[in-house]
Amino acid sequence: MKKLKNVRTAALDGLLAIEKNQAYSHLLLHSLIEKNDIRPKDIGLLTELVYGTLQRKLTLDFYLSPFLKEKKKIEDWVRLLLWMSLYQMVYLDRVPDRAVLFEAVEIAKSRGHKGIASFVNGILRNIQREGLPSIEDIEDDFERISIQSSTPIWLVRRFAEQYGLETAEKICMSQLLPPNQTARVNLNKTNVHELINRLKIEGIEATAGELAPEAIKVLKGNVAKSESFQKGYMTIQDESSMLVAKALDIQENEHVLDSCAAPGGKSTHIAEMLSNTGKVVSLDLHEHKVKLIEGQAKRLGLPNIETKTLDSRHVANHFPVHSFDKILVDAPCTGFGVIRRKPEIKYTKTERDIKALSNIQKEILDAVAPLLKPGGILVYSTCTIDQEENSEVIKSFLAKHQEFTHDEKLVDRLPKKVKDYISFGQIQILPHYFGTDGFYISALRKKV
């Protein structure tokens, strides 16, 4: 029998699992809800507690630190309980402080003992009495932005070096906002207007998207559980991601290689654009992930996707030169553009990861380049905003591959709204531009 658990206890379990690197936030919620039999009316609070606390970890620690006068080390779960309680006191108006304190003390009692319960009670009461330290008083700009946006200071400095201080602050602050829930309409089966009406009948409120013409924005309800989703009328995808397939300028009957394809968001988009013609060859390093692509292709009714488990750096052993009209490298990256969806990224990724990933990105590009037909388009994309993984990778690729040039026509293929951000066949979308994920896309053309 499933155990019915208190929402806050379940949230604390989840936070602890993330802290110990035993879970990813975006996959965790679903299992927390299932395992603990969380009632539908409590799912919102559970989500808010896990994401809110995680998103604001450094801010909450700044608020808490002056009240932890004792030298003794406190256990991880106690610190997380204090952060989570503080999060509710500072950011959630609808939960009265006395309820927060009561629950915190109860959890401390049952997970620890009476002594810990009175420690937790004492700290939270002191904070109530004395008030929070002021972030505005922090003199150093990097440190202030770091605490205010809960972003590690090295990352604030890095964004400031790449984009300037003002933009770095906008990037970091915008990552605290809840992400939009958007989906891409499968135009082979329906259209935006029809799908919005279908969803309405299912009790889901949606409206047309803002960037991509085939996008819908979900305002209320869970599309992942809808019949329309099961029937393959849509794919859950961020609007900035939808621009990638457009950058490839897909034409019917083409052969397209998607070198890093799982879970298949872009492969399925390309296959939809091919309208049952041509072929998408979708590769991924991991077999279990390749299965996800196959599942999506089946759900969406797309017979023109062929999958293969393969390290894309070894494509030369499997495909002849000049065998594809278009190639997509949607590369593995740090994911600094999707911190809203996966807040742990900002605390766990390091400068070493950036370096290691940029090497892999370059290796994949080098390996796939010979497979493209002359005149064909190679699109490189990432969901990060770090220039070392984006424009720098393309710069080094072009220096090595004189047979490629920037595809200046990219501007004609992307929606009007993003045109001002395109130059030299590249676009870097920052999360605060349109409220989407941060995304980088570069289109390159092989000379004839």
Ligand X SMILES: C[S@@+](CC[C@H](N)C(=O)[O-])C[C@H]1O[C@@H](n2cnc3c(N)ncnc32)[C@H](O)[C@@H]1O
Positions 11 through 70 that interact with ligand X (CB under 6 A):
none
Minimum gap (Å) between residue 344 Cβ and ligand X: 17
SS3 content of the chain, % helix, strand, coil (to 5): 55, 15, 30
Q: Is 415 exposed, middle or buried (0-12, 13-18, 19+ CB in 10 A)?
A: middle
Per-residue x/- track, 364-393, ligand X (CB under 6 A): x-----------------------------
Total of chain residues touching ligand X, rule CB under 6 A: 18
| Position 264 contacts ligand X (CB under 6 A) | yes
| Position 231 contacts ligand X (CB under 6 A) | no
Alpha carbon 16 to its chain's center:
21
Q: How far is CA 129 from CA 67, 118, 125, 136, 248, in A?
A: 11, 16, 6, 20, 59
Minimum gap (Å) between residue 43 Cβ and ligand X: 25
311 known member of a binding site: yes
C-alpha span between 206 and 182 (Å, rounded): 9
Minimum gap (Å) between residue 183 Cβ and ligand X: 14
Identify which of 72, 63, 77 has the alpha carbon closest to the alpha carbon of residue 117.
77
C-alpha span between 408 and 360 (Å, rounded): 26
| Position 289 contacts ligand X (CB under 6 A) | yes
| Position 266 contacts ligand X (CB under 6 A) | yes
Considering the complex, state which of residue 24 and residue 102 has its C-beta at the smaller distance from ligand X: 24
Minimum gap (Å) between residue 225 Cβ and ligand X: 20
Minimum gap (Å) between residue 317 Cβ and ligand X: 13
Positions marked active-site: 383
Helices (H), strands (E): how many in the chain? 20, 13
260 known member of a binding site: yes
| Position 311 contacts ligand X (CB under 6 A) | yes
Identify whether the C-beta of residue 149 lies closer than 8 Å to the C-beta of residue 135.
Answer: no
| Position 432 contacts ligand X (CB under 6 A) | no
Residue 336 sits at the vertex; the CA angle it makes with 423 and 249, to the nearest 5 degrees, is: 40
Residue 175 sits at the vertex; the CA angle it makes with 174 and 176, to the nearest 5 degrees, is: 90
- Interface stretch with ligand X, choices 155-163, 172-180, 261-269, 405-413 (CB under 6 A): 261-269
| Position 260 contacts ligand X (CB under 6 A) | yes
Positions 74 through 113 that interact with ligand X (CB under 6 A):
none
| Position 238 contacts ligand X (CB under 6 A) | no
| Position 286 contacts ligand X (CB under 6 A) | yes
DSSP string, 36-60: HT--GGGHHHHHHHHHHHHHTHHHH
C-alpha span between 367 and 316 (Å, rounded): 7
266 known member of a binding site: yes
User: In the complex, which residues of this chain contact ligand X (CB under 6 A)?
Assistant: 260-266, 283-286, 289, 311-313, 330, 332, 364
Binding site, by residue number, is 260-266, 284, 311, 330
